[in-house]
Amino acid sequence: MAAIGVIGAGYVGLTTAACFAALGHRVVCADRDADRVSALRRGEVTAHEPDLPDLVSDGLRSGALCFTGANAEAFTEAGFVFLCVPTPSGPDGAAELGAVRSVLAEIGPRDCRVVVKSTVPPGTAAALSRETGIELVSNPEFLREGHTVADFLHPQRIVVGATQPEDARAVLALYPEAPAIVTDTTTAELVKYAANCFLAMKLSYANSLAELCEVFDADVAAVTEGIGSDTRIGPDFLRPGPGWGGSCFPKDTRALAAAAEAAGVDFPLLTATMSTNDRQADRVVRRVMAETGPLRGARVGVLGLTFKAGTDDLRDSPALRVVERLVAAGAVVRAYDPCVRGAVDGVEVVESAEVAVEGAVAAVVLTEWPEFGALSWAELKPTMALPVLVDTRCVVPVEAAREAGMRVVRWGNASVR
Ligand SMILES: NC(=O)C1=CN([C@@H]2O[C@H](COP(=O)(O)OP(=O)(O)OC[C@H]3O[C@@H](n4cnc5c(N)ncnc54)[C@H](O)[C@@H]3O)[C@@H](O)[C@H]2O)C=CC1
Ligand SMILES: O=C(O)[C@H]1O[C@H](OP(=O)(O)OP(=O)(O)OC[C@H]2O[C@@H](n3ccc(=O)[nH]c3=O)[C@H](O)[C@@H]2O)[C@H](O)[C@@H](O)[C@@H]1O
C-alpha cells in the first residue's frame, strides 16, 4: 500500500484517485476548484461515469480517499504525486503547460516520485526535470470518457517513462497486472500523442470514405466491415459521424502538429487528419439543406449534443459545431440530449426528442445515444414540417423510419449490419 497524492480532480484525476483508493492505496486528491472539492467531500460526482460515484463513496467511507483544496496537503506525506491537471491548446495549438508548471513550483524538490499523467508534448518531462530539479516520471493515461473506471482498472497497457528503472518499477507496482511498456519519458509522452492522433486519423479516413460512399452510392458499413476484418486494420474506430471531438483528440492533434512544426518535421498526415475533420460540420449542414432547401427561419430538431454517447461532456463536441452552422444558416434549433440540461449557446435545449423535432423541417442525429434507435418515426413524422431525417451516427433503424414515410439520409449510405 502506498501513499499517493493526486493533483486535479477532473475525469483523469478523480478516476485515478478513486481507483488507486479502491486498489488499497491511501490517496489525497487536490483540486483548486473549491466547489468541486466540497461536492466530492459529500460524495457527489457530477461526471457521468459508471462506478465512479460508488468508488468515491467507498473511499470516503473507508478513509482511503480524501479531498482537499490545498495541493500541498496532497504531497506532504505522499510517496507518489500524480499530476492530472489540464494541458489545453495555446493560441498556436501547442499544449499549454501553465498548470503543470505551477504545480511543480508548489511541490519543489522533495522525497517523492512525481508522475506526470497529464498529456504533455515529447520532451516536456525531461525539460521540466532539468528546470525544476525534480526527476519526473511520465505515465500517460489512455482511459476513455464514459468508461474511465473500467479502463483504469483493466488497462490494455501501462506506459511508464523514467530515467531510473526503479522509478518505473515503483509506479507499475501501484497498478493491477497489465502489459507494461517501460521506456524513457520522451518516448512515453510520444506514445500518448501517437495513439490519439492515429485514432483521429483512422476516423478522418472513415469520414472521407463515408463521403465517397454517398457519391458512388456504395455502403460505408460494408466497406468498413470489409477493411476492419483484416486484423492489420482492425474494426474499431471506423464508424463515420459528424466529425470527431471531445476534450482530447482536437487539442492533441493540434499539439502534436505544433510540436512537429516547431521541430521542423513535415507531418502532412496529421494536418490532413485535422482539415478533414474541420470540413465535417459543413458537410452535415449541406446534406440537411440538400433535403430541406434554405434554412432561414426554419426549425431544425437536433438529437444529441455531447461529443459521443455515454458522457455528459460537451467540450469540443462535433454536435455543437453543426448547431453553430445550422444557426448561422438561419435555422431555429431545438436540441435534445439525454445527458444535457440547461442553456447551450444558440440552441434551445428541450426535454425530449419529441419536443425537439416538433415542427422541424429536419431531425438531425448527431450523437449515437441508443435511445435514438428506439424512437417511433410513425408517431414523430406527423408532428414535423418535413419528413427529413439525417442520421450522421447510423443509429436509427432505417427500414422502420422509411416505412413510416421518413426521407432518411444515413451517413455514408450505411446499411444496418
Ligand atoms: N479526459 C480524458 O478522457 C483524458 C484526459 N487526459 C489528459 O489528462 C489531463 C487532465 O484532463 P481531464 O481530467 O479531462 O481535465 P479536467 O478539466 O476534467 O480536470 C482537470 C482538473 O484540474 C484542476 N486544476 C487545474 N489546475 C490546477 C492546479 N494548478 N492545481 C490543482 N488543480 C488544478 C481543475 O480544477 C479540474 O478539476 C489533460 O492533460 C488531458 O489531456 C488523458 C487521458 C484521457
Ligand atoms: O486522451 C484522451 O483524452 C482520450 O481520448 C479518447 O477518448 P475520448 O475522448 O473519451 O473519446 P473516444 O471514445 O475516443 O471518441 C472520440 C471521438 O471520436 C468519435 N468516434 C469514435 C469512434 C468511432 O468509431 N467513430 C467516431 O466518430 C466519437 O464520437 C468522439 O467524438 C481516446 O479514445 C482515449 O484512449 C484517450 O485516453
- What domains are defined for the chain? 3-183 (3.40.50.720), 214-413 (3.40.50.720)
Beta bridge partners, 3, equal 26
The band of 315, judged by pLDDT with boundaries at 50, 70 and 90, is very high
Q: What is the mean pLDDT of residues 350-364?
A: 98
The position carrying cell 470514405 is 209
Q: What is the pLDDT of residue 135?
A: 96
29 given a catalytic annotation: no
Cβ pair 192, 159 in contact under 8 A: yes
| Residues in CB range of 210: below 8 A, 6 or more apart | 220, 240, 411, 412, 414
Ligand 1: residue whose CA is nearest its atom 14: 11
Check 29, 84, 248, 394 and give the catalytic one.
248
Cβ pair 85, 7 in contact under 8 A: yes
Q: What percent of the chain has pLDDT over 70?
A: 100
Q: What is the pLDDT of residue 109?
A: 85
The band of 238, judged by pLDDT with boundaries at 50, 70 and 90, is very high
Distance 292 CA to ligand 1 centre (A): 41
Q: What is the pLDDT of residue 198?
A: 98
| Residues in CB range of 379: below 8 A, 6 or more apart | 354
Looking at the predicted structure, is the pLDDT value of residue 84 above 90? yes
Q: Which residues are annotated as a binding site?
A: 31, 36, 87, 119, 142-145, 192, 237-241, 245, 251, 308, 315
Looking at the predicted structure, is the pLDDT value of residue 344 above 90? no
CB atoms within 10 A of CB 100: 23
Taking only the tens place, the pLDDT of each residue in 65-81 is: 999 999 999 998 889 99
CA distances from 154 to 5, 92, 157, 196, 372 (A): 21, 36, 9, 19, 30
Looking at the predicted structure, is the pLDDT value of residue 360 above 80? yes
The band of 206, judged by pLDDT with boundaries at 50, 70 and 90, is very high
Cβ pair 176, 23 in contact under 8 A: yes
Cβ pair 42, 79 in contact under 8 A: no
Looking at the predicted structure, is the pLDDT value of residue 303 above 90? yes
The band of 2, judged by pLDDT with boundaries at 50, 70 and 90, is very high
Mutate to test the pocket of ligand 1, among 84, 148, 308, 315 (most ligand atoms within 8 A of CB): 84
Taking only the tens place, the pLDDT of each residue in 216-232 is: 999 999 999 999 999 99
Q: In terms of DSSP H, where are the helices of 159-239?
A: 165-172, 185-216, 220-228
Burial of 23 (0-12, 13-18, 19+ CB in 10 A): middle
Q: What is the pLDDT of residue 355?
A: 98
Ligand 1 site, residue 33, Cβ cutoff 6 A: yes
Mutate to test the pocket of ligand 2, among 89, 156, 276, 307 (most ligand atoms within 8 A of CB): 307
- Of the ligands numbered here, which is closest to the C-alpha atom of 104? 1
Q: What is the mean pLDDT of residues 122-132?
A: 97
Q: What is the pLDDT of residue 111?
A: 84
Distance 9 CA to ligand 1 centre (A): 7
